[in-house]
Structure 1
Amino acid sequence: MPQKLPVYRIPDFTAARALANGFHVVDLQAHRAKHAFVQAPHKHDFYLLLYVKTGAGTHTIDFTAHPIQANSFYFLTPGQVHAWDLAPDTQGTLLFFTAEFYRGTQEADTLRQFPFFQSWQHPPVLFSSEEHMLPIQQLLQQMQQEYSQARTFQQDALRAYLELLLIQLARLYPKAERQPEAPNWPFQLYQLENLVEQHYLEHQPISFYARALHLTPKYLNELCKQNLGKTTSDLLQERLILEAKRLLTHSPHLTIAQIGAVLGFEDNSYFSRFFKKHTGTTPEKFRQRA
């Protein structure tokens, strides 16, 4: 029977490391040499940053193929499906971390304030110049040095480096002119994105999300339309369709009916109609092409 799509954790790559439960930074070529299986499609339960200093190829994230080029960054959030096809001489750095590691002793999870982690609004890539990437590259080298051996306050130091890295990348990001503190954007939207990620399988009504955000359904809908050009319903349906595509492509052990059930559709025919309405094709034909 075909295997399920693997979901990797940081300890799968760093079993001998004391910090393996929350953080890892490694040279890209060393990682590829030791873990050749990462070229095949898979998921992570952690955040991943890929820095490419030089190289070529493609990095596919949830059905979108992004070109690999020098002085670029690629950002993944937990649960996204990705795979890469990199030229053998591609050089760079990989950084893994969990939300728990980043948060430390703080209660609030503020990672989605960064534009590259707002998947609804912005693409998960950053193309820059060698000049602008030089400070980033130096910071990554400092992180690798700090990580290379156990030191006093090591986790605190790495967390501080990580915060500085994300801030510097956000400043380079093309959409950085849209500040999180701007009225109603994107703070409530990245809160909504988190809520949808947690509850989309439950098929909750819009009022459920509006109530959680202390908004009226009408105001939430207007907020989505003004900033994303989509209704709240559009966003909920798109998340279901994305998961359906993931399962149809990467879970051959599941039948179409089983996939519909996983997604919360009790009626398989309704799931097929829903999928075709939003993609223009049936689940069966989509799976065949995938």
Structure 2
Amino acid sequence: MVRRSIPHYDLYGDQAVPGWSNSFNFEWIPERSGPNNWEIQPHVHDAFVQLLYLTQGTVQVQLDSARHFVRAPCLLVVPARTVHGLHFSPDVQGAVVTATQKPLESLASVLMSELLPVIRTPTVLPIEESSRHADALMPLFLAVEREYRHPASGQVAAGMSLLTALLVQVARIQDSLQTATPSITSRKSAQIERFRALVDARFRTRLTVDACASELGVTAGQLTRLCREVLGISSLDVINARIVHEAQRDLVYTSTTVKQLAAALGFDDEAYFSRFFRKQTGQTPREFRASVLAQMSGTAAAPVVLPSS
């Protein structure tokens, strides 16, 4: 059997940017889909959530193992690590925003925890044009566009705040339809979501594939086959990617030593953690931190002396 490979992008066709970064992007749907003959092949964003608002046309959408055909007006929510592909009609119109998911989740956990399932659940949401909540959607998308296209002090903070307001409207529309709208209803997709939730909750405990499989009521082999079929990667890859994502963010945005970080992520030995990190990223934790801090300061990636662990 030939193992398929699902591309991982920042935006479709672009090289993926680091998942530890804070960023957001705005585009009109035809900008990217038009040059691709209205076809966006299945791919994954490792750290980014997307919200698409179709105001005209139709779309055939794949979200993990589920497929839908929907007409405008509608909203699509595509969380990080969701395999998704889209085929638009040539008359499509609408907007799409892409943002780093973890900062949005952090804001939601403080401001409105009910937004967390909105951010994390792949969703196809029909819009009733008469809905008073729907009236607020396009003004918010346009505000995000203005913030994105005119960089100024506090751009990321303003953008993330506007996106949080946009997610509030999505939640209100869901409530008005009296449905939780988890568009992924297949058994396979439900199992994947349970697995992801388990990994998010316990990745700091050196979670094993066997332990996950046991908790989900499947064998380790079944879980790995399921992940390869739906996500294009193994179950161990899912766990390792979550650990690396957290490690990269802490290395960039905190002064935590490598030894402290290793312990916080469930590694008893700093050297073992460093070997694990290098295998996953091609760099040691110290090399990664030095390189990124140099880039962020606008200097060349020269060796940086870091505190000992």
Considering the TM-score relative to the shorter chain, is it more than 0.5?
yes
Q: What is the alpha-carbon distance in structure 1 between the residues aligned to residue 114 and residue 218 of structure 2? A: 20
Q: Which runs of 5+ in 2 are unaligned?
A: 181-192, 240-309
Q: What is the alpha-carbon distance in structure 1 between the residues aligned to residue 108 and residue 118 of structure 2? A: 22
SS at match of 1:146: helix
Once the two structures are superposed, what CA deviation does each residue of 1:178-216 show, in whole Å capped at 9, x if it has no partner?
89xxxxxxxxxx998532357686221689x7xxxxxxx
Q: Which residue identity is paired with 1:246?
A: V
C-alpha displacement at 1:111, in angstroms? 7.4
1:1-290 alignment to 2 at 5 Å?
Answer: 4-10=5-11, 13=14, 22-33=23-34, 39-45=40-46, 46-102=48-104, 113-119=115-121, 124-132=123-131, 133-174=134-175, 193-196=196-199, 202-204=209-211, 232-233=216-217, 240=224, 242-246=226-230
SS at match of 1:204: helix
Structure 1 residues 12 and 61, CA gap change in structure 2 (3 angstroms): same
C-alpha displacement at 1:244, in angstroms? 3.2
- After superposing the two structures, state which structure 1 stretch, 65-74 or 32-41, moved more: 32-41
Structure 1 residues 51 and 235, CA gap change in structure 2 (3 angstroms): farther
Q: What is the alpha-carbon distance in structure 1 between the residues aligned to residue 194 and residue 57 of structure 2? A: 36
C-alpha displacement at 1:74, in angstroms? 0.9
User: Taking structure 1 as the reference length, what is the TM-score of the superposition?
Assistant: 0.58
Q: What is the alpha-carbon distance in structure 2 between the residues aligned to residue 176 and residue 240 of structure 1? A: 36
Q: Which residue identity is paired with 2:199?
A: V
Structure 1 residues 36 and 202, CA gap change in structure 2 (3 angstroms): farther
Q: What is the alpha-carbon distance in structure 2 between the residues aligned to residue 127 and residue 39 of structure 1? A: 21
Q: What is the alpha-carbon distance in structure 1 between the residues aligned to residue 84 and residue 12 of structure 2? A: 19
Identity of aligned residues (%): 21
Contact kept, 8 Å, 2:26 with 2:148, in 1: the verdict is yes
Q: What is the alpha-carbon distance in structure 1 between the residues aligned to residue 108 and residue 78 of structure 2? A: 22
Q: Which residue identity is paired with 1:167?
A: V
Q: Which runs of 5+ in 1 are unaligned?
A: 180-189, 210-231, 252-258, 265-290
Contact kept, 8 Å, 2:24 with 2:148, in 1: the verdict is no
C-alpha displacement at 1:95, in angstroms? 1.0
Q: CA RMSD in A?
A: 4.4
Q: Identify the residue that residue 214 of structure 1 maps to in structure 2.
A: none
C-alpha displacement at 1:240, in angstroms? 4.7
Q: What is the alpha-carbon distance in structure 1 between the residues aligned to residue 69 and residue 124 of structure 2? A: 10
Structure 1 residues 242 and 109, CA gap change in structure 2 (3 angstroms): farther
Number of residue equivalences: 215
Once the two structures are superposed, what CA deviation does each residue of 1:224-272 show, in whole Å capped at 9, x if it has no partner?
xxxxxxxx5269998655413236xx58xxxxxxx799799xxxxxxxx
SS at match of 1:7: coil
Q: What is the alpha-carbon distance in structure 2 between the residues aligned to residue 94 and residue 246 of structure 1? A: 24
Q: What is the alpha-carbon distance in structure 2 between the residues aligned to residue 118 and residue 105 of structure 1? A: 14
Contact kept, 8 Å, 1:115 with 1:173, in 2: the verdict is no
SS at match of 2:52: strand
Q: What is the alpha-carbon distance in structure 2 between the residues aligned to residue 109 and residue 236 of structure 1? A: 38
